[in-house]
Structure 1
Amino acid sequence: MSDQTFHFTLGPVQGFVAQARRTRDFWAGSFLLSWLAGAAMLAVKQQGGTIDFPSPDDGYLGWLTGKGSGDTPRQGCIPNRFKAIQCKVPGDFDPVHIEQSVRDAWRALAESVWTRDLRPHDPSADTRAIWERQIDGFWEISWALGEDNSLLDRRKNWRTHLPPVEGGVKCSMMAGWQELSGAVAPGDACLKDFWEGQRKQFPRDFDEGEHLCAIAFIKRRFVGAFAKLSATMPDGWTLHGWQLDGQMPSTLDLAAAHWVAGLDGARSEDLETLRAATENLLDGSDGGLRLLRCVRETRSEVLTRLHSSALFPHVLENRALCQNRDKVKEVRKALKILDCKTPPAPFYAILLMDGDSLGQLLQTDLQAPPKISRALNAFTSAVPELVDQHNGFLIYAGGDDVLALLPLEDALGCATAIRAVYLAAFKEAFGKEGCSTISAAVTFAHVKIPLTRLLRDSHHLLDDIAKDATGRDALAVRVVKSSGEALQWARPWLCALSVEAPEQLTITRLAERFAADESGEAADFSSKFFYRIRERFAFLNPPKGQPDAEAIFDLEQATSLLAVDYLASGVNRGLTLKIQEAEALIRPLLKQCSPVRRYTSDEDKPRRATQVMPMVPQAGIEFYQQPRLEADAALLVRFLAQKGRERS
């Protein structure tokens, strides 16, 4: 019996991870998907298979067998898709056991949650029927045996998985799935009775008006049942869970992190007054701020326990949430005592990163798999510390994928640092540069925007904008305000990084120059200048609807014209800047406003574009700049400098 290659995938990935109402739901989906993929890997190894790509983290897999050591894993680190080699077929290796192991693991977890949280409340037969139908019908598992790398995709195209038909009232988190009470219509008494009972039992876990299906219920409540989980798998081995800390920073914690850290040094009595007032208003904090380094390093118990939601005006003004207006006054009074003139900016960041064209590298280099696995293991082991250093919370780092939540101030720096580690890992593994690149998408989002929508849009930003539209090895940034998308900017990494400081983005350095520094010195750019920039660009650009038309002015002429406008915007403040000095300030901004795309040597190049040289030339790669200016880069500079606050 000869060795064959076993291919396996588990999904739906986005249908499970991205449908989330809280950061905790987001994390739970990613964690559980990785845990189930780990169960599949262990099932392969139990039958004598060895994982070729990606190389599994044996430390993580040890926890699944109850033999883990050191810190318990908190983030997912195993991709949902892998292939294994050295699997004897047909006698010694049974692919069905791999699928069955995943389904048994999921059922065991589901039953643990049911036994702990639902059975004590004597649920109806309808609730149990919904639970079993959804647990059995959710996962789509595909596998194939053979050497052809396209086998798995062809197998998935059969579309043999049919989700169950769902009636009744639908889940608040997972679109299309029935909630658990079995209510036929929203006004049914059983709907209210069932979920009021859950809210009474678990007041922090279920919001008013929230109704969940079985899958969403498990995501929300599995942490409490995970530590005692033990399930026998088809090949006789035992799968385990472990003790988990289910505490997560909220989106409001992320938005407020640096603002809260800035309170360090204030009088302890005043800080305690603020903490007590916020807790009295909103029933205490869940402690999510302590997970963010900038707050944690203050070593202030009061600050780590602050209820960040009560720091935002839109929350205090919400009379449904803050019904006791006297308590709201106490919070505002405490903020005034601390001389907090400006509230936290209501924005945080979602960072999504993914390696470029690894599949192509695997197909063109037969010696690549072990090198790629070595590079990815080094990369993923470094990511958690990098995210923590940038005051963020890591959701997932596995294979060539990264997903993290960060404060607005840290997201672009974190993306830049992660890219540097990725490139270094591949250079070390292959002994040369340029073997693989990584693209990133950063979404700066208002805290009011639903997470599910943002996660879906982040994947579009990464796949369609950073990779397809910008040519890969690129960064794409989007700002989503409460009123909708405000701006979008993308650029190849090698044209976005600063020549003077390669560890920084030019756009970040420009934002620092726009913002007034701590000593109160004047900024290099005025808000008035940015406010009028769309109008100025419309004048300088080729006519609309004529993509092949030449620009009215070239970049140097546009720089001179905008330098005059810049000097008229009030930046001098009594000083006298010469036109040449103004041009020196404007030039790097306009370069970031000129769209650039990365091309491989065999791709067709645009007719009117101009080839530009990146900071580091690459063999077989060319960069072309379009003859127009886009205001979104300049508006991003203003957004970053003002941290999302609007001011004149």
Structure 2
Amino acid sequence: MEPPVSDQYFHFTIGPVQGFVAQARRTRDFWAGSFLLSWLAGVAMAEVNRQGGKIQFPVPPKNYLDWIQGQHKGEKPPRQGAIPNRFKSTCAKVPAEFDPELVVSAIQDAWIALADHVWKGDKLDGFAASGTRAIWDRQHANFWEVSWAITDKKEETSLLDQRKNWRNHGFTQHEPGVKCMVMDGWQELSGQARPGDAEKNFWQELITSDLPGIQADLGQASSKQKERPKQLEQLCALAYVKRRFTRHFASFETTLPNSELKLKGWKLSHGMPSVSYMAAVHWLKELVKSGSDSEVENLLGLARDVSRDRVEWDTEIQCLRQAADERQWHANNPKRQLLALDGQLFFRHVQEQPQAYGYDVEKTKRFAKELGKFCNGHELPSAPSPYYAILLMDGDSLGVHMSDLDKQTAISAALNAFTGGVPDIVEKHNGCLIYAGGDDVLAILPLENALGCAAAVRVHYLKSFEAQEPKIPSTISAAVAFAHVKTPLGMVLADLHPLLDDVAKDGSGRDSVAVRVWKTSGQVLQWAQPWKIALHDGERRADGELEVETLARLFAKDGSTGSDLDGRFSNKFFFKIEERLAVLADPRLLKDKDKDKDKDKDKDKDKDRRAVPVLNYEQLLDLLAVDFWHSDTNRQRVSLARAREHIEPLLTQCQPRERVMKEGKELLPVARWKHHELAADGALLVRFLATKGMEGDGQ
């Protein structure tokens, strides 16, 4: 008699993650890529369960697999991706019969079924050129990369990493013709060899059809019916499904041919705020709250003359929804209607060059003039700040603990508690959650709320782990990018992971936050600190405020009565800080930068240059306190000693620190810090936050 076969352990991953998620021109592309990748991971988990396996790490969120299989019981449907693309299934009780290839085929079959559902739902047979279907089938059949490993040794938790190191990738087929405008290198669907060479105008016919939402999904419609739409986007098959699947997901239902696993979709909102809308959120709230219905109705009429698009009708931002609910704005209320308009209409750079955005010059000029009068009459800024934020967060060195099998149950419970609480935190901060799964968080937020949201998510993460036994000392780091709405979204997204990994984690010793600001000219500043240094008061408070936010708020108040700052931070003073630190705080600037030049000729000059003293921290603090005391009217307001007290927290944020770790205990900091050279970025970030980027080339 043969001995019973022991349990096996299945490891699995799906990609390419960055190739599918990060290639985006709109926030909606970004969200859709994350959602669909998570959905496919859920399909794989459902197939493991169907074969008798048991997912132990990470445990999928409660009821998520029920929604995927259409077995839910009235719970709120998932809105974001919530399953990491990599997981391990342990204690699969069918070791002899378990077939990993059925998991692989479930992913591919589910994707093909969804793609075919979108094709039929949009009736693409009626628009397709002769080669469109072939492009569609080729691209969907050859995109996903699936890796798996199976072992009977429970402790072999790194087996998949070893497998990935030697696996062979298939050769990607050459993609001819004109390429997709979202996913680089993939052929767009009409099949044209060169722009304008298509046998029929596939995209023009498609976007002028009566398909629901097609104009908003593929480009901005013209204000004149049947006129060629503005900014028409030509997409590959993969990007097309990302753009259009929400229109048809509620009616999606299929049985996978190889495993007979049943899948069913659910209703998804089409609303995903554009970067322009997210930048304008708080300004829009004040706009609609300030004016009467008749004033706003006048603005609405002029805005509709420019563009009748209601691309933000389904967008849900908490502060705007609360304003509408409190005042009972019904669907036909002009204020509710105004909040549905394309956010870019309100920006000066659009109003000054309307033709670049497909708008009529004279109509835009009339709207801009009336908007200016309205804002002036209600003491509002004439335009919103053109900056928004993207937040990326990730647990620190959690893999060190995940390799300990005794901790995996506690880690799974902590991550489920963490993931479950993130949506409410992001919503509370007027943001839009793109992804929350495992220890990862990705969200887009207004400039004003991003840092506070990051701090609140961190506290929630710490509490989620502290509630488990055994307690696991896990921390989380954050990367925040403040970006101008004209900065390409793909570029900002591509920079987020280096900012998180190289700056917040490696550069600051983890449990840290890093910030970059992107203006139209490129990156203008970078700032990072460990959370313990960055937070103003209460390292573990859910409503904790970063020191740079506190200083920015005081700077924005301009020392007015009622603030706890009795001196004034002037814009001129911040330029003085930048000047002082550039010359006196960086010894690298005092060294010979070109040793190949005639040394004898410049010997005396270099000697004098090296003789310039480099001030230490205390000396710089004294000097900047004097600068502050002499700026604005501060000499009449504060003593020199009080001026020094005001400057010290600002200078603290200008000295990057790095947590020093104990050997072999990576997550436990010792009671000392490694200090780096002083830099003005902390002060420049304060000025940026206070002025919302409007101090220079903000528009």
TM class by shorter chain equals over 0.9
- The aligned residue for residue 199 of structure 1 is 207
SS of the aligned residue for 1:440 comes to strand
Cα deviation, residue 551, structure 1: 8.1
Which residue identity is paired with 2:677?
R
Contact 1:290 1:296 in 2 (8 A): no
Whether 1:557 aligns to 2:605 is no
Q: Structure 2 matches for 1:353-502, cutoff 5 A?
A: 353-363=393-403, 365-430=404-469, 432=471, 435-499=473-537
Contact 2:430 2:445 in 1 (8 A): yes
Q: Distance in 1 between matches of 2:448 and 2:309?
A: 26
Stretch deviating more after TM superposition (635-644 or 199-208): 199-208
SS of the aligned residue for 2:638 comes to coil
- The aligned residue for residue 534 of structure 1 is 578
Whether 1:586 aligns to 2:624 is no
How many residues get paired? Answer: 631
Q: Structure 2 matches for 1:42-53, cutoff 5 A?
A: 42-53=46-57
- The aligned residue for residue 220 of structure 1 is 243
Cα deviation, residue 97, structure 1: 0.5
Q: Distance in 2 between matches of 1:528 and 1:246?
A: 46
Name the larger-Rg structure.
Answer: 2
- The aligned residue for residue 615 of structure 1 is none
- The aligned residue for residue 181 of structure 2 is 172
- The aligned residue for residue 181 of structure 1 is 190
Taking a change above 3 Å as real, the CA distance of residues 90 and 124 of structure 1, as seen in their structure-2 partners, is: farther
Contact 1:525 1:571 in 2 (8 A): no
The one-character-per-residue Cα deviations of 1:558-582 (angstroms, maximum 9, x if unpaired) are 110111111222152x723211011
Which residue identity is paired with 2:30?
F
SS of the aligned residue for 1:67 comes to coil
Among 226, 244, 247, which residue is 2:271 paired with?
247
Q: Distance in 1 between matches of 2:637 and 2:33?
A: 57
Taking a change above 3 Å as real, the CA distance of residues 500 and 142 of structure 1, as seen in their structure-2 partners, is: closer
- The aligned residue for residue 356 of structure 2 is 320
- The aligned residue for residue 278 of structure 1 is 303
Which residue identity is paired with 1:509?
T
Stretch deviating more after TM superposition (389-398 or 328-337): 328-337
Whether 1:150 aligns to 2:158 is yes
Among 324, 328, 344, which residue is 2:384 paired with?
344
- The aligned residue for residue 524 of structure 1 is 568
- The aligned residue for residue 610 of structure 1 is none
Q: Distance in 1 between matches of 2:24 and 2:674?
A: 39
Stretch deviating more after TM superposition (531-540 or 209-218): 531-540
Which residue identity is paired with 1:348?
Y
Cα deviation, residue 274, structure 1: 1.6
Whether 1:309 aligns to 2:344 is yes
Q: Distance in 2 between matches of 1:579 and 1:636?
A: 25
SS of the aligned residue for 1:297 comes to helix
- The aligned residue for residue 662 of structure 2 is 601
Among 617, 620, 624, which residue is 2:673 paired with?
624
- The aligned residue for residue 688 of structure 2 is 639
Contact 1:466 1:491 in 2 (8 A): yes
SS of the aligned residue for 2:201 comes to helix
Cα deviation, residue 456, structure 1: 0.7
The one-character-per-residue Cα deviations of 1:315-355 (angstroms, maximum 9, x if unpaired) are 11222325423321331233113424431000000000011
TM-score w.r.t. structure 1 length? 0.93
Cα deviation, residue 499, structure 1: 3.8
Cα deviation, residue 494, structure 1: 1.3
Which residue identity is paired with 2:259?
D
Cα deviation, residue 506, structure 1: 1.1
Among 35, 59, 63, which residue is 1:55 paired with?
59
Which residue identity is paired with 1:575?
Q
SS of the aligned residue for 2:527 comes to strand
Gaps of at least 5 residues in structure 2 are 220-230, 592-609
Taking a change above 3 Å as real, the CA distance of residues 32 and 590 of structure 1, as seen in their structure-2 partners, is: same
Q: Distance in 1 between matches of 2:129 and 2:618?
A: 74
Identity percentage over the alignment?
Answer: 48
Q: Structure 2 matches for 1:14-163, cutoff 5 A?
A: 14-68=18-72, 69-88=74-93, 90-146=95-151, 147=153, 148-157=156-165, 158-163=167-172
SS of the aligned residue for 2:548 comes to helix
Taking a change above 3 Å as real, the CA distance of residues 379 and 517 of structure 1, as seen in their structure-2 partners, is: farther
Q: Distance in 2 between matches of 1:642 and 1:174?
A: 35
- The aligned residue for residue 613 of structure 1 is none
Contact 1:253 1:288 in 2 (8 A): no
Contact 1:289 1:295 in 2 (8 A): no
TM-score w.r.t. structure 2 length? 0.86
Contact 1:350 1:404 in 2 (8 A): yes
Q: Distance in 2 between matches of 1:620 and 1:566?
A: 35
Cα deviation, residue 491, structure 1: 0.8
Stretch deviating more after TM superposition (113-122 or 384-393): 113-122
Cα deviation, residue 513, structure 1: 1.2
Q: Distance in 1 between matches of 2:56 and 2:538?
A: 41
Taking a change above 3 Å as real, the CA distance of residues 214 and 583 of structure 1, as seen in their structure-2 partners, is: same
Q: Distance in 1 between matches of 2:696 and 2:495?
A: 28
Among 255, 266, 269, which residue is 2:294 paired with?
269
Let me know the Cα RMSD of the aligned residues.
Answer: 2.4
Among 303, 325, 331, which residue is 2:367 paired with?
331
SS of the aligned residue for 1:171 comes to coil
Stretch deviating more after TM superposition (12-21 or 202-211): 202-211
Q: Distance in 1 between matches of 2:367 and 2:297?
A: 11
Contact 2:425 2:457 in 1 (8 A): yes
Contact 1:286 1:305 in 2 (8 A): no
SS of the aligned residue for 1:479 comes to strand
Taking a change above 3 Å as real, the CA distance of residues 556 and 313 of structure 1, as seen in their structure-2 partners, is: same
